[in-house]
Amino acid sequence: MTIQTLNIDGKKLVVLTEAAFAELMEKAGVLPPLPPANQRGARDALAFADAAIARKLISRRIKAGLTQKELAKCAGVRLETICRLEGGKHAPTRETITRLDAALTKAHV
């Protein structure tokens, strides 16, 4: 892993690739882990999809600078929905995905 630093306003900042940042977030327990691979390297598809959606949702929310509560309000969904989705335990409906995407796209602009 290559690490670069920047000095902005007298503060030294570390620049990471998105993959390295995701790895650190997973190790810190921020991102749900992907399901383990079996001996042939295959993973449970549904568990993988739930975890992948959760990881992307968390990353986009953080990039947009939103808390879970703020995202829930912007998307018109319950906070509990955001918590369950980010935990990687539930798959969102198409309507929920559409609402979350619209809220995150608007917040990121």
Integer angstrom CA distances of residue 23 from 8, 18, 28, 75, 108: 25, 9, 9, 27, 22
Residue 109 has pLDDT above 70, yes or no: no
Of 20-29, 78-87, 92-101, give the lowest mean pLDDT range. 20-29
pLDDT band (50, 70, 90) for residue 1: low
Q: At what angle do helices 18-27 and 45-64 cross, to 10 degrees?
A: 110
Tens digit of each residue's pLDDT (9 = 90 or more) over 37-84: 999 999 999 999 999 999 999 999 998 999 999 999 999 999 999 999
How does the average pLDDT of the chain come out, rounded? Answer: 90
Residue 22 clears pLDDT 80, i.e. is over it: no
Give pTM, 2 decimals: 0.78
Region(s) of the chain under CATH 1.10.260.40 = 44-109
CATH 1.25.40.10 is held by the domain 44-109: no
